[in-house]
Amino acid sequence: MNKVEIYRGWCKKCGICIAFCPEAVLEADEALYPTVKDPEKCNGCRLCEMRCPDFAIVVYRNEESYPETDSSPGK
Amino acid sequence: MRETTHLVHKYLRSSKRFPHIWCAGCGIGIFMQSLIRVIDQKEYSKDDVVLISGIGCSGRLPVYVDFNTLHTTHGRALTFATGIKLAKPRLKVIAIMGDGDAIAIGGNHFIHAARRNVEIASFVINNQVYGMTGGQCSPTTPDGTITASSPYGNLEPDFNICRLAEAAGATFVGRATVYHTRLLEQLIGKAFEKKGFAMVEVVSQCVTYPGRTFGPDPAVAMMKWQRDNSITVAQASKLSEAERQGKIEIGILVDKERPTYHEEYQKLLRKKPKV
Ligand SMILES: Cc1ncc(C[n+]2csc(CCOP(=O)(O)OP(=O)(O)O)c2C)c(N)n1
Ligand code: SF4
Ligand code: SF4
Ligand code: SF4
Ligand SMILES: [Mg+2]
């Protein structure tokens, strides 16, 4: 299974990782920090990590379950 | 929870304070991460890379990373970059600019660096505004926009940075948004490989100024806008000028070869002309 870690010390709660996760793995907690709601659903695409402006999220990938996704227009 | 180990940590200056100064959801951090990831993939040595910026929120980027870096004056990143490339041609010279930095005050340097074909990988972070000074109009602010310096709406049509670079002679021109991170990384890689003046326009969000009109979640709303308004170069070629209005054309717009300035300069030095 893939593992998503959020480093609260650097997170500014912008919501980008939550809004654009293609599998809706993340949600905001009461303090508006992202948390992992559904770890099994994570496809390891890493888009949350790549789009975090504050380098506050890292995805540890289980290589076997990694599908090629792209971020071309419309996706 | 153990502390997150992120690839960027290999390149951040430990003496700097983090989180960085950019506002929550500002696109500059996304570009910075992409840039670092590509440098890491290419396995450039830190000593062989030089990052040069002007002044602005975008201009803060080199401050945070452990390469050779130069934080110069507003609009003059390409001027310093040109000098460095001529003096030390083996270096990978990278210029990071804002839209105001590159196209307003630095517009002259921009067109002439492109015309000379100086081998610089240059990146213009286009947030359509002067972010650092409080949200005034820039040459890429859309017509009609209300800003700190256009309270009744901007009267000026906006510049197309990529077309400007192309017309001035740039040998590589591309555009991506920070939403399209994978495309952005491809273009950064191509710009690094280019033997000549390469320019990538990075469409980004300033959440604090233009973002004010995007509701309670400006970073997310502005990135959705990037996603929903982008069209590929191939799609754009099938549309009329009027249909392309308001769309962001993403992909590679120019990729060609021309003699580079520093190579011509080296040839001249070898000839040792009499004066
Ligand atoms: C010679 C000079 N003129 C004006 C300024 C003030 N100034 C600082 S940043 C800036 C514009 C920033 O806009 P942009 O280049 O788009 O960068 P951003 O902050 O949006 O990333 C201006 C006008 C300056 N520092 N130096
Ligand atoms: S994208 Fe980064 S800074 Fe923004 S909410 Fe997610 S982890 Fe926090
Ligand atoms: S890696 Fe992809 S699927 Fe997993 S949480 Fe991040 S964005 Fe969602
Ligand atoms: S003012 Fe705008 S460009 Fe500057 S850091 Fe904030 S969001 Fe980014
Ligand atoms: Mg700007």
Residue A37 lies in a domain: yes
Predicted TM-score (pTM) of the model is 0.95
| Helix (H) or strand (E) run with residue B31 in it | helix B28-42
Distance A43 CA to ligand 3 centre (A): 6
Instruction: Identify whether the C-beta of residue B159 lies closer than 8 Å to the C-beta of residue B167.
Output: no
Residue A68 has pLDDT above 70, yes or no: no
Instruction: Identify whether the C-beta of residue B29 lies closer than 8 Å to the C-beta of residue A53.
Output: yes
Structure confidence at residue A31 (pLDDT): 97
Structure confidence at residue A72 (pLDDT): 47
Q: Which whole-number Å values give the CA distances from B178 to B21, B115, B192, B261, B268, in the listed order?
A: 18, 27, 18, 31, 41
> What distance in Å separates the CA atoms of residue B46 and residue B66, rounded to the nearest whole number?
7
Phi/psi region, residue B223 (left: phi>0; alpha: psi -120 to 50; beta: rest), is alpha
CATH of the domain at B143: 3.40.50.970
pLDDT digits (tens, 9 = 90+) for A39-54: 999 999 999 999 999 9
Instruction: Identify whether the C-beta of residue B249 lies closer than 8 Å to the C-beta of residue B106.
Output: no
Residue B14 lies in a domain: no
Structure confidence at residue B5 (pLDDT): 74
Question: Percent of chain B scored above 90 by pLDDT?
Answer: 95
pLDDT digits (tens, 9 = 90+) for B186-223: 999 999 999 999 999 999 999 999 999 999 999 999 99
Residue A39 lies in a domain: yes
Structure confidence at residue A71 (pLDDT): 47
Lowest-pLDDT range of A54-63, B142-151, B219-228 = A54-63
CATH of the domain at A46: 3.30.70.20
**How many domains would you assign to chain A?**
1
Residue A74 lies in a domain: no
Residue A32 lies in a domain: yes
| Closest C-alpha residue for ligand 1 atom 11 | B130
pLDDT digits (tens, 9 = 90+) for B79-123: 999 999 999 999 999 999 999 999 999 999 999 999 999 999 999
Judged by a CB distance cut-off of 8 A, whether residue B76 touches chain A is no
Q: Sort out which chain A residues have CB atoms less than 8 A from B29's CB and list them.
A: 52-55
Residue numbers of the domain that contains A41: 3-62
- Name the amino acid, one letter, at B20: H
Instruction: Identify whether the C-beta of residue B203 lies closer than 8 Å to the C-beta of residue B178.
Output: yes
